[in-house]
Amino acid sequence: MDEAKLINLFPKPLVLMENIFTDKLDFLEGFLKQQKGFKRTATQNVDTTFHTDTRLFEKEEIKFLSDFIYKKALSFIRQLEYSNSYINRCKYNEMWFNISNENDFLFPHHHGFCLVSGVYYIKAPKDSTITFYDQSYYYPNHIEVKTPNIYNSKDVKLDCKAGSMFLFRGDMIHGNTLQPKGEKIAISFNLGL
């Protein structure tokens, strides 16, 4: 009768898929490296097409990947139980790619203007990660944690692996800390209305 129940409010869903089109990674790397228009900013210290070409999903050469991502993103939205009328109107907002090397980084950010964001890794060096951050801005920084878990962690690092993809809500804060030695190539995307 006096037993307390811990309730997980507002969980942050994330989908990880692995071994996606691993037989096409070399082709994708070559195709992306032929594209033009890279730019760096203070918060995006990577070679990115985010500011120059966000219509990668329209490229016929990678339609197989764009279609796959779209299908999986809609499946993710269905799992979150959004209305069918909303799901039927969802489309790509942007798709771009980043190429990063040793000591490059992406400052923590979100894509709150869309419902689903994601990233697909074409190439990733050993020990490279993506970091997701807790959005509780009022959480005291001085609290000591005995054992990190879903209730007390301020951030979670997940491994980036070639052929893997993450799907997450656009309002999740994420970024890349300083990259270890090696090259990372990632296609990022947003879907919404």
Here the tokens at position 130 are 């993506």
List, for residues 69-122, the tens digit of each pLDDT value: 999 999 999 999 999 999 999 999 999 999 999 999 999 999 988 999 999 999
List, for residues 2-14, the tens digit of each pLDDT value: 899 988 888 899 9
Domain residue extents for the chain: 14-136+145-192
- Residue 20 clears pLDDT 80, i.e. is over it: yes
Report pLDDT for 148.
Answer: 84
Residues 58, 40: Cα–Cα separation, whole Å: 23
DSSP string across 117-151: EEEEEEE--TT-EEEEE---TTS-TT---SS--TT
Edge-to-edge strands, sheet with 14-17: 14-17, 165-169, 116-123, 184-192, 91-100, 47-48
- Its pTM stands at 0.93
Residues 129, 106: Cα–Cα separation, whole Å: 11
CATH code 2.60.120.620 for 14-136+145-192: yes
Read off the pLDDT band of 144 (50, 70, 90).
confident
Residue 169's contacts (CB-CB under 8 Å, 6 or more residues apart) are 12, 13, 80, 115, 116, 117
Q: What is the mean pLDDT of residues 171-188?
A: 96
Distances (CA, A) of 53 to 38, 65, 85, 163: 9, 17, 29, 23
Cα dihedral sign for 45, 100, 71, 12?
Answer: negative
Here the tokens at position 84 are 């069918």
Q: DSSP 3-state assignment of 23?
A: helix
* Highest mean pLDDT out of 106-110, 133-137, 151-155: 106-110
